[in-house]
Amino acid sequence: MRGKQAKERKAQADAVYNSAIASKLINHVMVGGKKNLAEKIVYSTMDLLKKDLKKEPLEILDVAIENVKPKLEVRPRRVGGVNYQVPVPVSDTRQLSLAIKWIVSGAKARRKKEKFYIALADELKDAYKNSGFAAKKKEDTHKMAEANKAFAHFQW
């Protein structure tokens, strides 16, 4: 390992739902340091989810993120002058950050002329039902790892 490894910091829970996951979602939605705007977007999304699915929005968020978390990913390893894509298990913190990142990027890609909170709610609904951009991204990651499992012995 090069240099010192960064210390893991605990995420502050958000004000409304008292959830670290909701707080991380707010931070991923935030652009240009405008946290107030990001909070309004995420809370509007949660209200829309509660109204549409008639369930607790935090429960919907947890299930959606759990459906999108990748278990394996590929990392490049250089062996004998050749780069191999080696499948490796994903740590819990990286699983969470990848899932949130994929959900937010899926909402950004989906957004046309509608408001962002609507696109984010639609992406979360799709992730809850195990479909949509983020779920497809997870499947692609797992397929790539499965295709390269012949190189798993290069993992160290």
CATH number at residue 136: 1.10.455.10
Helix (H) or strand (E) holding 152: none
2 inside domain: no
10 inside domain: no
7 inside domain: no
Q: What total number of domains does the chain contain?
A: 1
pLDDT band of 13, cuts 50, 70, 90? very high
**More confident call, 151 vs 13:** 13
What is the C-alpha separation between 143 and 85, in angstroms, rounded?
Answer: 12
Q: What integer is the mean pLDDT of 140-144?
A: 92
Residue 155: pLDDT above 80?
no
12 inside domain: no
Contacts of 148 (CB under 8 A, 6+ apart): 74, 84, 85, 86, 87
Q: What integer is the mean pLDDT of 133-146?
A: 93
Residue 156: pLDDT above 70?
no
Mean confidence (pLDDT) of the chain: 91
| 57-104 pLDDT per residue, tens | 999 999 999 999 999 999 888 888 888 888 999 999 999 999 999 999
Give the pLDDT confidence score for residue 110 in this predicted structure: 87
